[in-house]
Structure 1
Amino acid sequence: MFSSLLSVVTSALLATTAVAWPNVPSAPFVQNATVFSPPANWPNKGGSYARSVLLNQNCEKGNPTILATAAYQPPDGQYLIIHKSTDYGATWSELSKAYFNGNASLSGGIILQPFLYELAQPFGKYQPGTILLSANYIPGDFSSTNIQLYASTDKGASWEYVSTVAAGGPPNTDNGAPCVWEPFLLAYSNQLNVYYSDQRDPAYGQKLAHQSSGDLVSWGDVINDVAYANYTQRPGMITVAQIGNGKWMCSYEVGLWTDPVTGSNDSAPYATHYKIADSPLDFGSVGDSILKTPEGISSAGPYTVWTPAGGPSGTIVVSDSSYDQFFLNTQNGAPGAWKNVSSQGHGVGYTRSLSVLPGNGGKTVQVLNGGMYGSNMTLFSAGDFIVPGPAGHGPGASGFPACNHNSGGYGHGWGWGSPWW
């Protein structure tokens, strides 16, 4: 099935070869630019969970627009601040506030774990170029957890409620508490798939699952992606990326994990594990590996991207929430091929996010750091990491790919989301 899908995608790519790939201007290197600093009059200035999206679904030319947000607790309402950059993250301005007021029965509270995504194909009434924003809304009485979906049809200037993907009980990280956490969005096979951490299944302390929709309103059954026979283990915080051989990789932390060699988890209390499958909908049917280098084990809140730079198979880049450095793999995720490298000065953050910028041979990975969860004061920053090794080749490595809204939803990012074969 995958080989036939690959054939379809390859044919679609070949059909566009007559269209020139538009180059974007060279990106300046951004060290650590401030996206947002909480105002002095905010009682709670802590933040975390930075996320961004690079807009590229409306045949953009010139400098791309990047939107970003992070989880803060503003004193004047329940909203996420959407920030905008048109100079590759060197400077930022406030674009809008996304109020989570779509369900009138919920009020007050906090918004956690945001995620931004741009549609490359239509879903229901929402056309390519629509920006999606998902997060976990916890009302003021702490009675529930709610993974909600909002949409912007004007590039992030305004937002409307679309649907609630999943809802659970009060926020509680103890096993047995039936709540939901941490959405991640990915369009694939003409569906929008929302992955999240799920404590509602009594068979598991926590599992990773996804639900799918063709119209963003009605959601399908809960499909398990990572569910351990050991009830006490807690896989969480999943991210997904397509890698250089066309397969898909998900990474996630495993709480209450025990190292089979040492019998403890002192070195990696939330050890990063990962799976590689032919489809991002098939993670439940494959085994996992631990992300380990000679220096140690990655731990907590991993975020994964793939870039064509760094070698014939490109480079998988993984950030986590415990270390400043990144974890790189140039061999399509082979378990023995991971290495540690310096993040080039981006500091530790609670689930830093990564995105590959167009141009520069795919060597520029932008790092968004919203700070550490529970900190009294955090600065939301953006900066670049340069992937070691040679530049990559293909559409995204030199600029945006040709505009194509009939890609069938095989992936996301730079139109098709497929590796640049």
Structure 2
Amino acid sequence: MLSTFLTACSLLSAALATPWGYNQGGAPYGGPAPQRGGAPGPQPPTPPPDTNIFNNVTVFAPPASWPNHGGSYARSVLLNQDCEQGTPTLLATAAYSPPDGVYFIIYKSTDYGQTWTNISKAYFNGNSSLSGGIILQPFLYELAQPFGKYKPGTVLLSGNLIPGDFASTNIQLYASEDKGITWEFVSNVAVGGPPNTDNGAPCVWEPFILAYDNLLNVYYSDQRDPSYGQKLAHQSSTDLTEWGPVVNDVAYANYTLRPGMITMAQIGNGSWMCSYEVGLWTDAAGSNESAPYATHYKIADSPLDFGSVGDNLLRTNTGGVSSAGPYTVWTPAGGPHGTIVVSDSTYDQLFLNTNNGDPSAWQNVTSGHGVGYTRSLRVMPGNGGKTVLLLNGGMYGQNSTIFTAGDYVVPGAEGSGPGAEGFPACNFNSGGYGHGGGWGNSW
């Protein structure tokens, strides 16, 4: 959340002063991760050697002329859903406040994230009834199958537009049919009241996009339901313009709890895991000092069925609890079940699980990267799936931030199967995973 995260920020210095123990974790396990079938894809790019692992390169620094230098919420997409060939292309963005309009700056990398070029500005002005204001909480996604008039390879960009009169929150969807150069307004997914993180204020936040079973699903935090202070929900579409009913994914009987900031990935056994913060969470002793926005997660057979399963607290094997703004990916590297990797917004560490999300199997490891407000993760092709790209847009509420990128290398054995050596199969078009959910989108 916007205001709810400020308390977590105040706990940051104390938390980092007493780390939980940097377990580099994960003895080298033998055997490949489960493979997902599909017709052979295009010739994969040459994987980067280990010598190309890098740390904390600058993607963007706000110009000195900008009155507001703060930023957060970095996101990326790996263009691999439409049988792209050659060197992998990454697109990335983050939430800043440029003085000359309401837009996300789009960056491109063709060297695995080591250098970046500004290729466009995605203006959120397609809905003429809204103007001015700010745009928050971006998310990038590439289509692997057609939806309405949009073909595979179309890049989607969502965000939360708050107009100049601050009268509403608007989760909007934009599309680029030329790999991020130009953008057009597609639709409003969800509309809420004025931005306010108090329970009872009917606003919406924090979109996440996933295609599954011929549906394009947008997940978000929803305060509009009077039964809950906040819940996590999704809406689905077959054409990106008409959206189905609101479906609950995480909704607590305790009205005060605030689940938010959902992300998800398909894990090694084929199940789906979503992670999210729970604002105003307390432990058994009634305290929330260690994790005021404790990370919880659910595991379900389908990403459309999270509402029917229970949740787990992400507590490490040394007793620490992950807190605030989690981001989750899965890679086949690290062991026979691969590795779930989770970043949060409170610690610079990462949280790993090599046993399909077993609640007793979480370990925290040093990441080599600074803490950031909802850092995002991207499993990169090549290197046996061991390379995870971290993007950090900065800490929310700081006066000056720099948008950075860097790699983390997953401990343990290299993985195998689609994506570990290069691009996966041409997912939807040639059989692939069947859900348009290949590497670079949800994994």
- Same fold, TM exceeding 0.5? yes
Q: Which residue of structure 1 aligns with residue 21 of structure 2? A: none
**Per-residue displacement from partner, 1:101-139 (whole Å, max 9, x unpaired)?**
111111111000000000000000000000000000000
Query: What amino acid maps onto 1:337 in structure 2?
Result: A
- Kept in 1, the 8 Å contact 2:45–2:88? The answer is no
For 2:108 and 2:45, locate their aligned partners in 1 and report how far apart those are by CA, in whole Å: 21
Whether 1:375 aligns to 2:398 is yes
Displacement of 1:263: 1.4
Displacement of 1:207: 0.1
Whether 1:102 aligns to 2:129 is no
Aligned residues: 405
Within 5 A, what are the aligned runs for 1:358-373? 358-373=381-396
Query: What amino acid maps onto 2:178 in structure 1?
Result: D
Gapped regions of structure 1 (runs ≥ 5) = 1-9
For 2:228 and 2:436, locate their aligned partners in 1 and report how far apart those are by CA, in whole Å: 30
- C-alpha RMSD of matched pairs (Å): 1.7
Q: Which residue of structure 2 aligns with residue 388 of structure 1? A: 411
**Per-residue displacement from partner, 1:212-244 (whole Å, max 9, x unpaired)?**
000000000000000000000000000010000
Whether 1:196 aligns to 2:196 is no
Within 5 A, what are the aligned runs for 1:159-198? 159-198=183-222
Query: What amino acid maps onto 1:44 in structure 2?
Result: N
Of 423, 428, 442, which residue of structure 2 is paired with 1:400? 423
For 2:395 and 2:244, locate their aligned partners in 1 and report how far apart those are by CA, in whole Å: 34
Within 5 A, what are the aligned runs for 1:12-23? 13-14=37-38, 16-17=39-40, 22-23=44-45
Whether 1:215 aligns to 2:221 is no
3-state SS in 1 of match to 2:307: helix
Of 276, 282, 299, which residue of structure 2 is paired with 1:252? 276
For 1:402 and 1:69, locate their aligned partners in 2 and report how far apart those are by CA, in whole Å: 26
Displacement of 1:63: 1.4
Displacement of 1:36: 0.3
Which structure ranks higher in relative contact order (CA pairs < 8 Å, sequence separation ≥ 6)? 2
For 2:220 and 2:362, locate their aligned partners in 1 and report how far apart those are by CA, in whole Å: 26
Q: Which residue of structure 1 aligns with residue 86 of structure 2? A: 62
3-state SS in 1 of match to 2:182: coil
For 1:241 and 1:141, locate their aligned partners in 2 and report how far apart those are by CA, in whole Å: 36
3-state SS in 2 of match to 1:361: helix
Whether 1:273 aligns to 2:308 is no
Q: Which residue of structure 2 aligns with residue 129 of structure 1? A: 153
- Kept in 2, the 8 Å contact 1:405–1:415? The answer is no
**Per-residue displacement from partner, 1:40-76 (whole Å, max 9, x unpaired)?**
0000000000000010123222211100000000000
- Kept in 2, the 8 Å contact 1:191–1:409? The answer is no
Residues 20, 84 of structure 1: CA spacing in aligned structure 2 closer, same or farther, 3 A cutoff?
Answer: closer
For 1:405 and 1:254, locate their aligned partners in 2 and report how far apart those are by CA, in whole Å: 34
Displacement of 1:415: 8.5
- Kept in 1, the 8 Å contact 2:92–2:107? The answer is yes
Q: Which residue of structure 2 aligns with residue 413 of structure 1? A: 438
3-state SS in 2 of match to 1:284: helix
Deviates more, 1:355-364 or 1:395-404: 395-404
TM-score (norm 1): 0.93
- Kept in 2, the 8 Å contact 1:69–1:82? The answer is yes
- Kept in 2, the 8 Å contact 1:25–1:63? The answer is no
Q: Percent sequence identity over matched residues?
A: 76
Q: Which residue of structure 2 aligns with residue 7 of structure 1? A: none
Displacement of 1:334: 0.3
Displacement of 1:403: 2.5
Within 5 A, what are the aligned runs for 1:247-326? 247-260=271-284, 262-293=285-316, 294-326=318-350
Of 27, 35, 46, which residue of structure 1 is paired with 2:59? 35
For 1:361 and 1:176, locate their aligned partners in 2 and report how far apart those are by CA, in whole Å: 47
For 1:404 and 1:144, locate their aligned partners in 2 and report how far apart those are by CA, in whole Å: 37
Query: What amino acid maps onto 1:181 in structure 2?
Result: W
**Per-residue displacement from partner, 1:174-226 (whole Å, max 9, x unpaired)?**
00000000000000000000000000000000000000000000000000000
Query: What amino acid maps onto 1:304 in structure 2?
Result: T
For 2:182 and 2:127, locate their aligned partners in 1 and report how far apart those are by CA, in whole Å: 17
